[in-house]
Amino acid sequence: MRDLFFYLGTACLFTHELDAMPNHEWRVLPLLDALPDELGMFAFVAGHVPLFAFALACIASSVPRTRTVSRLVVSGFLVVHGLAHGLSIGRANYEFASTLSNVLILGAAAFGALFLFLEWKKCPTEAQ
């Protein structure tokens, strides 16, 4: 079940990135928001190729420790990403107002939190 939550959270994030295009997400990201619109969009899209390639290589690594740590990091990112979107609501260039956008963002955060909780629950507690 834990792995399912991880995969669903990651799927929500990847799908959210598709939804980010018509919502002009680069306009609310530091550094990219200062660029002309076409250049900001290009940098946003092009930057996801190495980012996703690296993330996928880590979460699918044949090295168990790399795979475990990267899944924890990605799940933590899903939670922080959801919080960042929540804090962005009301900003002038924030366009994520649709139900679909919010389900993807909040879904990714919720699945990330569930994965982290289940990972924490499976860890043996230290004897005191």
Answering whether pTM is above 0.85, one says yes
Model confidence pLDDT, tens digit, residues 78-114: 999 999 999 999 988 999 999 999 999 999 999 999 9
User: Residue 112: which residues within 8 A CB-CB, separation 6 or more?
Assistant: 5, 6, 9, 74, 75, 76, 77, 78, 79, 82
Q: How far is 39 from 62, CA to CA, in rounded Å?
A: 37
What are the domain boundaries of the chain? 2-122
Pick left, alpha or beta for residue 68 (phi over 0 → left; psi -120 to 50 → alpha; otherwise beta): alpha
Model confidence pLDDT, tens digit, residues 29-62: 999 999 999 999 999 999 999 999 999 999 999 9
